[in-house]
A and B are shown apart, each in its own frame.
Chain A
Amino acid sequence: MQIIGPDLLVFGVDDVPACHDFLTAYGLEPQGYSPEKGGLYLALDGTGLEIRRRDDPSLPPALKTGSMLRLQVLGVVDQAALEAVAAELGRDRLVLHLADGSLRTQDDQGFELAFRVTTRTPLELEAEKINAPYHPGRPVNVVGVTQDMPAKPRTLSHIVLFTPDIDVAVGFYRDRLGFRITDTLTGAGPFLRPQANADHHTHFFIRTPEYMQGIEHLACHMGGPTELMLAGSRMMENGFESFWGPGRHKFGSNWFWYFKSPLGCNVEFDADMDTHDDDWAPREAPMGPEASQAFLMQWRKKWAPGGGPGPKG
């Protein structure tokens, strides 16, 4: 099943202008925004978020838990891949073929899903380059950081869901849609990647009581750790509040920095995630602080030691 991953995540929110403020500060490009109706918020490759009012009649039904996530739109590589999804899921559920060519259905836990031939535009952008002894990554005279360098989310990376039944979630995404389990945090759940995406994960499930079902966080990939640190620092300087990070996860190796948001979930910057193929042997570790990160740091205001206090008087 040639699925790439999330193209678009659709939310029904209570405070559209707050979400606009947050997502533009996060670095997504607003498109067609109005305070009454919401808008699209796009990463550099055209993947991203759609923000609507909670009572917008165009939205699929909300989960009973209050989660603001209303729809995941998953991108597939081509029309044949879309037809393969329709044929597989059409065996046991209603799959709507919409006028725009997309498919609409539900997973086995009531999360609304759409599938479409991906609309993402591949980027001609280099990864962040680092210099190491005997192995320079950047040409001479090229500096590694400037205060005003761009630090924009490049693409939607992954979504993490609170799910009441991990077996049902895995049964759907692995066994029906062909996702691969890359690693598992025992006590929480598995990381999954779809077959047409080498990223360590586009989905991660965390087992929770039913009243918590919904989105835990979403993340966009940055061009490297420096972009992640700059983007997160700019959020902090503008009064946005960190939830967790910056740090570096173990499973996936991605750098992370999570921010609380008016979307009812955390929104993460990530960078430098591992990639895998089917030769990878999944790992397992008990969920907890040790398995969750290689290291964790906390932001502080800029400071410099200088030469100490001058003479008094």
Chain B
Amino acid sequence: MVTGVPLTTLADLPDGDSRGFEVEGWRAKVIIVRKGARVFGWRDLCPHYAGGTSMAWRRDAYLNGARTHLACHAHGAWFDIETGVCVQGACLGKRLTRVPLRIDEEGGVHLDRAPREDKA
């Protein structure tokens, strides 16, 4: 993984939408949600079960129906997009793992630091 290469660009992220990205060496994707000029990064690991499970019902479909929250579509848990805190459902009070992101001058969205290899 080269941190100089963006995962995506703001131009490729529709406002208010979510996408999942593979990162070499990581067993779970990185979810990126764009809100205006801001982006929020989370590991695609619902904290309901130990070790975490992936959350989309279809490729990139991480938001709930009303598009107000990130959702785990296994059991319907909802997470605050900005804080990652579960506000409803199976993992109430737990939170997603944040992935710090950085936006460069051209709108490229990068991991803020090189990822460490996943053990699992």
Contact = CB atoms under 8 A, between A and B. Distances in A.
B73 A260 contact: yes
B90 A260 contact: no
Interface size class of A (residues with CB under 8 A): 20 to 34
Interface residues of B, number: 22
B92 interface: yes
A15 B65 contact: yes
A269 B89 CA distance: 24
B71 to A, nearest CB: 8
Interface string B51-75: 0011111110100111000011111
A66 B88 contact: yes
Nearest to A66: B88
Contacts of A14: 64-66
Interface in A192-235: 208-209, 211-212, 214, 216
Given A212-B89, A240-B58, A18 B65 contact: yes
A243 B78 CA distance: 17
Contact of B73 (A66, A212, A264): A264
Interface string B70-86: 01111110100000000
B89 A262 contact: no
Contact of A65 (B71, B74, B89): B89
Contacts of A67: 76
Interface in A227-270: 239-241, 243, 259-262, 264-266
A41 interface: no
A241 B89 contact: no
A42 interface: no
Contacts of B57: 18, 22, 240-241, 259-262
Contacts of B72: 260
A265 B76 contact: yes
B58 A66 contact: no
Nearest to A243: B74
Given A66-B89, A241-B59, A266 B65 contact: no
A199 to B, nearest CB: 24
Interface of B: 53-59, 61, 64-66, 71-76, 78, 88-90, 92
Nearest 10 pairs of A and B residues by beta carbon? A14-B65, A264-B76, A15-B65, A260-B73, A239-B59, A260-B57, A66-B88, A14-B66, A260-B74, A243-B74
